[in-house]
């Protein structure tokens, strides 16, 4: 199996982001909330990226912030996938009014832009990590539901599924043993895109001050903390913003490759 250069770059970058997030306390030179210098110091040997709006080491904040961003985004994506795919596959297999009710419900939720709906809900909920994960996961699961239902409806009418039904297999068997393995490749390709979406969504919420709350911080929150510096020509806010973009692009490179591979398999025509 040959991996194209772009995908390889994507895998390496994504991998290092996750590794750094995992071992944040070992990698970070200073503590998360440790004030180690003046406000917005420029880059130096002690502070590779300079310091932030109240004199904390920007690199250390970046490493810890990345951990928060990646953790919440991963958890929300996992939730949305588990919930969305199980419900989507169930709707496709059961059909009838259950399918109708679920699909119309999802249509309804998708009629409101995610960000707006999240803002409405977060205006009355306490903003904690748990609430963020649940809200993001639930909102995103509607997209996964649509995709998995669409994929599963096609598979559900195939002969081998028919055979399994005639054999008298239970719903659980049909969903997990017959349909899921065949629906997996488009779902995996979608996984990357949903993860990117979760990262961007969380960053946007935090940037608006409605995501991760201080003193903890994620990349979006760090942009918010340091945005005042921009007007004075201090680029500290651009660093976390760039990190979000780089993470998103790396995951995208991998997802693109997976998507191409899986669609190649389906179409039967390489290249």
Partner 1 sequence: MSSLGKLLVQRIALGLLLLLAVSALIFAGTQILPGDVAQSILGQSATPTALANLREELGLNEPAIVRYFGWLGGVVTGDLGTALSNGQDIGPQIGKRLGNTMFLAACAAVVAVPLAIFLGLVAVRYRNRWPDKVISGLTLASISLPEFFIGYVLIYFFAVKFRWFPSVATVYDSMSFIEKLNSIALPVTVLTLVVLAHMMRMTRAAILNVMQSAYIETAELKGLSAFNVIFKHAFPNAISPIVNVVMLNLAYLVVGIVVVEVIFVYPGMGQYLVDHVAKRDVPVVQACGLIFAGVFIGLNLVADVVAILSNPRLRHPK
Burial 106-134 (b: 16+ CB within 10 A, else e): beeeeeeebeebbeeebeeeebebeebbb
**Coarse DSSP helix, strand, coil percentages of the chain, rounded to the nearest 5 percent:** 75, 0, 25
Q: Which is nearer to partner 1, 3 or 120 (CB)?
A: 120
Q: How far is the CB of 232 from partner 1 (least distance, A)?
A: 8
Q: How far is the CB of 64 from partner 1 (least distance, A)?
A: 19
Strand partners, 56: 35
Q: How far is the CB of 107 from partner 1 (least distance, A)?
A: 8
Neighbours of 216 (CB within 10 A): 14
Q: Which is nearer to partner 1, 65 or 93 (CB)?
A: 65
Q: How far is the CB of 67 from partner 1 (least distance, A)?
A: 18
Spatial CB neighbours of 166, under 8 Å, sequence gap ≥ 6: none
**Binding interface with partner 1 (CB under 8 A):** 107-109, 111-117, 119-126, 196, 200, 203-204, 207-210, 220, 223, 227, 230-233, 235, 237-238, 241-242, 244-245, 248-249, 252-253, 256
Q: Please give the biggest Cα pair distance in the chain.
A: 73
Q: Which of 97, 183, 184, 107 is nearest to 143 (CA)?
A: 107
Q: How far is the CB of 128 from partner 1 (least distance, A)?
A: 12
Q: Which is nearer to partner 1, 158 or 263 (CB)?
A: 263
Residue found under tokens 């903890």 = 216
Q: Which is nearer to partner 1, 92 or 135 (CB)?
A: 135
Q: Which is nearer to partner 1, 142 or 156 (CB)?
A: 142
């Amino acid at each position: 199996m040959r991996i194209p250069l772009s995908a390889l770059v994507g895998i390496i970058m994504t991998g290092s982001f996750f590794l750094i997030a995992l071992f944040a306390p070992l990698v970070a030179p200073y503590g998360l909330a440790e004030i180690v210098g003046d406000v917005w110091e420029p880059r130096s040997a002690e502070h590779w990226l300079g310091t932030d709006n109240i004199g904390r080491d920007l690199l250390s904040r970046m490493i810890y912030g990345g951990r928060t961003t990646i953790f919440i985004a991963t958890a929300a994506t996992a939730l949305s996938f588990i919930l969305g795919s199980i419900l989507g596959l169930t709707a496709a297999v059961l059909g009838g009014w259950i399918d109708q009710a679920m699909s119309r419900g999802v249509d309804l939720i998708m009629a409101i832009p995610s960000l707006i709906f999240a803002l409405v809900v977060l205006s009355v909920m306490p903003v904690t990590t748990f609430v963020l994960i649940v809200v993001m996961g639930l909102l995103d699961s509607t997209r996964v539901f649509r995709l998995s239902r669409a994929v599963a409806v096609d598979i559900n009418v195939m002969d081998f599924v028919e055979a399994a039904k005639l054999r008298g297999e239970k719903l659980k068997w049909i969903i997990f043993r017959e349909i899921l393995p065949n629906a997996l490749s488009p779902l995996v390709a979608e996984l990357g895109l949903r993860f990117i979406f979760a990262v961007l969504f969380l960053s946007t919420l935090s940037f608006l001050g409605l995501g991760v709350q201080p003193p903890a911080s994620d990349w979006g929150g760090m942009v918010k903390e340091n945005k005042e510096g921009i007007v004075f020509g201090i680029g500290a806010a651009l660093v976390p913003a760039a990190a979000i973009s780089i993470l998103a692009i790396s995951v995208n490179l991998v997802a693109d490759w997976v998507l191409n591979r899986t669609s190649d398999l389906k179409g039967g025509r390489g290249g």
